[in-house]
Amino acid sequence: MSDLRFKDLIEPVVLDQKTALRVTVLGGGSFGTAMANTAVRNGCDTMIWIRDEAIAAEINATHINKRYLPDFQLEAGLRAESNLEKAVRDRDIILVAIPSHSFRDVLRQIKPFISAQAVVSLTKGIEAKSFSFMSDIIREELPEVPYGVLSGPNLAKEIVAGQPAGTVIASDSELVRYAVQQALHSALFRVFGSDDVHGVELGGALKNIYAVAMGMAVAYKVGENTRSMILTRALAEMSRFAVKLGANPLTFLGLSGVGDLFATCNSPLSRNYQVGFALGSGKTLEQATKELGQTAEGINTIVQVNARAKELDVYMPITTALYEVIFEGAPPLNIAVSLMKNGHRSDVEFVLPHNEV
């Protein structure tokens, strides 16, 4: 399948305001539900695929996602579907909001039903062991499909509540970017475009590491000076690592970089922040993740990025210290100490000719 086939399918739809885009969201977690609800509000014919038939039926009957967003009434036009073929076949845009550990398997399941749909990842994570990004997995499993990634400071509860927010759709295809903007852009939810696919999804994945660190720091009641230093040095780590992998450093000045980092590191609504806070409060990783009841992508991302940073010889002291604290029993003070090492580094990455002395 090529972008031209998607063009033939989508152009008549996006040009004709009387014809609603057909959008399916795969995954009934908080963010997937928020995007599905946004698409309905924007006039799209929208379905959300949920594995459990009983939960799908409950959402259709009550218009409430009781597990992930129990305090919010969803749009009446949102339909939940447990049959994967019905959810995917003959749609325009497939938004995939599946945890990274199941992402590849779900793409393999939908492959027989893909004809000319665009597939867009909403997942902010990295596949364990392979170190594949979600865009890599889409290319591998659905090699001819037009694709993109959506990422930004998008806390689901705020979006469903109708608070103004913004996000970034990154794709090599201008048509995919335009179609996603048509589906989701509104007066309260602004969708910006980018062609730096890996940069945008790296921002979304990497910031989860530092949300865990910030949650731990808050549990230890650190001051505003320390929190500000964590944020800015986290941004330096993120951009340093991403540029090594070919991303544009300027991407990290946008919503998918510093915007998402700020929102996730400063909000108790963030799953990764919550796990970090629990760890900083003396709970084990098993206890913290069990109490959360949702996937905290940051824990897997710490493992993957720590290993890859060593392979690539990228200086990432916060990530390294977090790994040592969580998995090797090092004292939490190591994270603070890591920030104070190597004081001759440049304040802003890529500004001075030599970042490290």
Query: DSSP string of 321-339?
Result: HHHHHHHS---THHHHHHH
Given the residues 157, 207, 221, 341, select the one marked as catalytic: 207
pLDDT along the chain (357 residues), means of 10: 62 61 97 98 97 97 97 98 98 96 97 96 93 96 97 96 97 97 96 97 95 94 93 94 94 96 92 92 90 84 95 95 93 81 74 56
Print the domain residue range for 33.
6-195
207 is in an annotated binding site: yes
Q: Contact, 238 vs 261, CB < 8 A?
A: yes
224 is in an annotated binding site: no
Pairing assessment for the beta strands 165-170 and 147-151 based on DSSP bridges: antiparallel
Say how many domains are in the chain. 2
**43 and 30 share one domain:** yes
**23 and 127 share one domain:** yes
Q: Is residue 355 assigned to a domain? A: no
Q: Token digits for 52?
A: 């459990």
pLDDT in tens, 54-111: 999 999 999 999 999 999 999 999 999 999 999 999 999 999 999 999 999 999 999 9
CATH of the domain at 234: 1.10.1040.10
**124 and 176 share one domain:** yes
Which one of 149, 178, 195 terminates a domain? 195
List CB contacts of 92: < 8 A, sequence separation 6 or more: 9, 10, 13, 21, 22, 23, 117, 118, 179, 183
Find the helix or strand (DSSP H, E) in which 305 lies. helix 297-312
Whether 207 is catalytic is: yes
pTM of the full predicted structure?
A: 0.89
Which one of 165, 195, 225 terminates a domain? 195
**215 and 156 share one domain:** no
**178 and 208 share one domain:** no
Q: Is residue 97 assigned to a domain? A: yes
Q: Token digits for 327?
A: 């998995």
**101 and 214 share one domain:** no
270 is in an annotated binding site: yes
**79 and 51 share one domain:** yes
171 is in an annotated binding site: no
Q: Where are the alpha helices (DSSP H) in 42-82?
A: 53-62
